[in-house]
Chain A
Amino acid sequence: MAFFEEIASAVIAGDPAKSQELVKKALDGGAKPLDIVDQGLMAGMNVVGERFKRCDMFVPEVLMAAKAMNMGLDLVKPHLDSASRAGTGTVVIGTVKGDLHDIGKNLVAMLLESKGLNVVNLGVDVSAETFVNAVKQHSPQIVGMSALLTTTMLVMKDVIDALKEANLRDSVKVMIGGAPVTQDFATEIGADGYAPDAVTATDLAKGLLG
């Protein structure tokens, strides 16, 4: 449908105002909320993802597209039934204790949101205890951890140990990332996955959700 294509185009162009305007029009015109999401907003975001992978789009464009998608989504959400609103999964994400770097982690969070996942962003300098409490509170399928420093990446193991101690380790998948982190390190500390950048992290999360 041409109308959904226009919504997708607004997302691809990174135009939040246009996206909202078109979504509102679609809702007023009686379009099915789920179709607006799937054929409009998400369809646009999928194109963005592909173009980014092909190096045809750049990070600021992807982020503006994600914003356009999320602002459109905000208008649709109240019209979705609870089953569709539940989305496809929840991810708790944070930069580990002692580390204040959040750009990479926020990028991952935004891209995960743009894939329709519910993201709980705990910020930076997050202790093992805070991770455990967030898992108890939000029951996520995935816990994502980030570290930029070689000295703080070791904290990731503490978080995994704390999850084990709280008997929560089996209820979540753990994925990790950050400049000094490697697949070997992920294997060593018993994480379920490692991603070297935000796009790969999004694919990894989708894979872990099965």
Chain B
Amino acid sequence: MIDGSKVNSPSFRVLSEEQCERIHRATLKVLETVGVKVELPEGREILRKAGATVEGEIVKIPKGLVEEALKKAPSSFTVWDRLGNEALELGGRRSHFGGCASCPQILDPRTGERRPCTRADVAEFARMNDYLPNMEFIMLLGQVRDVPSLIATQVEFKETVSNTVKPILMCCNEMDVFEDVYEMLVAISGGADALAERPFLIVYTEPITPLVHGYGLEVALRSVERGLPVVNTPMPMGGATAPVTYAGIITLGTAESVSGIVMQQLVKPGAPSVFGGIPSAMDMLTTIYSYGTPELPLLCSALTDMSHYYDLPMFGTAGVSDSKFLDAQAGMEYGISALASVMCGSNLIHDTGFLDHSEVLSFEGHLLMDELAGYIRQFMKGVEVSDETLALDIIGRVGPGGTFVAEEHTFRHFRELHRTKHLDRSRYQLAQMEGMKPLDQVLREKACEILESHRPAPLAAGVQSRLDQMEKKWWAR
């Protein structure tokens, strides 16, 4: 965790309090007058019973209903790891980074080749993420290509949970897929109640911009009932699925995220709902959804301001680049998005280690993000000003022209300075003697080394064999 709530932590905001209020009023107006399309009949019924107007699939949600529901959602909550330890404290200005174990393509860490993502890659990525000290959760998208798509998410979850103890964030829109994963979760936790008490899975649900809640909503509602936290994160794409202007993008994203949270709070008041959104703009030359553009960190930060305005945890995005390689462009886009997301106080920050606007997963990119998270952790310490840190007595003792390196004060405090694991701060002459390598190569070698050596805490043998039995059942269908 990087705690940005300390007095000295550098912080920033994009939206003023007045701007937040205006966007909130605009959001209420959208929900009340335009409404949202809710494809799942159950979702429409929940809202209708609470006082919303239903016209076909369009639901218009009155202002009072939205504001009441938002008050019920908790401002912070804990997510646990597979072993039952506290892992994530979501809320306030505490930031947690996590990688994503599946993507349509990966850069093979051993060969450097770009190829479709397999279940073995998911297992390896989970294992590496388990090892990394600054990576605190892992996400799944259901994108592996070497198993049938109907069981991709189940297989990814199984491979991941077998290879890491860290909390898992899962993208899932199908109820039968969710039930398979839930069966595994219950087996691991030792019962539905134990799971609800210490959930180590967060469910990701994505309203479809503009203003549509698809059938995936059912997974979110069942998750809430069973005590699993739910992330509500639309992807408004400025100039394509959303207005091209920043305030319009933020308003649309807020309306989508908030309307999801309203339904969850109606189903179970006080349920852990996470506000979110991945707002960006369509690149007007290539039509890609750009992750590298400055609009992404700017608008993510603005949405984070809205999350603070609502006092809800925020799902953030950083460490993803439009570049095809882990190069200068990737470093720039990773660095700025990661620093912005922490400085604005985003909580659950995902997508680290992605390249090619989220098409490709890079092991070395993910290692760079771990290094970057450590760098930002240092930056967020800010400057402590006290008698001890002002060090006036030492300045006096050493005096003009002296040196501080051998002072006891230096000895006592030098470990507070940042130390890098992989960044190059060497002297050229020595580096030349030892053989110089660019950072991406250093990180690739390190990734392979971690994969060779790190062994995460395994599942209990009985549980592992039950999961294997469950997998046989999926394949037999």
Q: Known contacts being A59-B282, A150-B145, A150-B149, is A198 close to B239, with CB within 8 Å?
A: no
Is B293 located at the chain interface by the 8 A CB criterion?
Answer: no
Cα-based distance from A198 to B143 in the complex (angstroms): 25
By the criterion CB–CB under 8 Å, are B240 and A103 in contact? yes
Q: Select which of B104, B149, B152, B284 is within 8 A of A59 by beta carbon.
A: B284
Residues from chain B with Cβ under 8 Å of A180 in the complex:
104
Cα-based distance from A58 to B286 in the complex (angstroms): 9
By the criterion CB–CB under 8 Å, are A59 and B287 in contact? yes
By the criterion CB–CB under 8 Å, are A60 and B239 in contact? yes
Taking beta carbons and an 8 Å cutoff, which residues of A are in contact with B? 55, 58-60, 100, 103-104, 107, 150-151, 154, 179-180, 197-198
Taking beta carbons and an 8 Å cutoff, which residues of B are in contact with A? 104, 142-143, 145, 149, 152, 208, 214, 237, 239-241, 244, 282, 284-287, 359
Cα-based distance from A107 to B287 in the complex (angstroms): 9
Cα-based distance from A107 to B284 in the complex (angstroms): 12
By the criterion CB–CB under 8 Å, are B208 and A100 in contact? yes
Closest 7 CB pairs of A and B: A58-B284, A151-B149, A59-B284, A103-B240, A180-B104, A55-B285, A150-B104
Cα-based distance from A146 to B237 in the complex (angstroms): 19
Question: Can you identify 30 A-B contacts, CB atoms within 8 angstroms?
Answer: A55-B285, A58-B284, A58-B285, A59-B282, A59-B284, A59-B285, A59-B287, A60-B239, A60-B244, A60-B284, A100-B208, A103-B237, A103-B240, A103-B241, A103-B282, A103-B287, A107-B287, A150-B104, A150-B143, A150-B149, A151-B142, A151-B149, A151-B152, A154-B149, A179-B104, A179-B359, A180-B104, A197-B286, A197-B287, A198-B287
B217 to chain A, nearest CB (A): 14
A191 to chain B, nearest CB (A): 18
By the criterion CB–CB under 8 Å, are B287 and A104 in contact? yes
B149 to chain A, nearest CB (A): 4
B474 to chain A, nearest CB (A): 16
Cα-based distance from A22 to B443 in the complex (angstroms): 62
Cα-based distance from A55 to B285 in the complex (angstroms): 7
B242 to chain A, nearest CB (A): 11
Residues from chain B with Cβ under 8 Å of A104 in the complex:
287
Residues from chain B with Cβ under 8 Å of A198 in the complex:
287
Cα-based distance from A58 to B145 in the complex (angstroms): 34
Residues from chain B with Cβ under 8 Å of A55 in the complex:
285
Cα-based distance from A190 to B240 in the complex (angstroms): 31
Residues from chain B with Cβ under 8 Å of A103 in the complex:
237, 240-241, 282, 287
B117 to chain A, nearest CB (A): 9
**What residue in chain A is nearest B237 (Cβ atoms)?**
A103
A130 to chain B, nearest CB (A): 20
Residues from chain A with Cβ under 8 Å of B359 in the complex:
179
Cα-based distance from A179 to B360 in the complex (angstroms): 12
Residues from chain B with Cβ under 8 Å of A179 in the complex:
104, 359
Residues from chain A with Cβ under 8 Å of B240 in the complex:
103
A149 to chain B, nearest CB (A): 9
Residues from chain A with Cβ under 8 Å of B287 in the complex:
59, 103-104, 107, 197-198
A109 to chain B, nearest CB (A): 13
**What residue in chain B is nearest A152 (Cβ atoms)?**
B149
Cα-based distance from A100 to B241 in the complex (angstroms): 12
Residues from chain A with Cβ under 8 Å of B104 in the complex:
150, 179-180
Residues from chain A with Cβ under 8 Å of B142 in the complex:
151
**What residue in chain B is nearest A196 (Cβ atoms)?**
B286
A54 to chain B, nearest CB (A): 10
Residues from chain B with Cβ under 8 Å of A197 in the complex:
286-287
Residues from chain A with Cβ under 8 Å of B143 in the complex:
150
**What residue in chain B is nearest A100 (Cβ atoms)?**
B208
A118 to chain B, nearest CB (A): 23
Cα-based distance from A105 to B180 in the complex (angstroms): 34
Cα-based distance from A165 to B367 in the complex (angstroms): 50
Interface-centre pick from B104, B152, B282 (highest chain A CB count, 10 A): B104
Interface-centre pick from A100, A103, A198 (highest chain B CB count, 10 A): A103
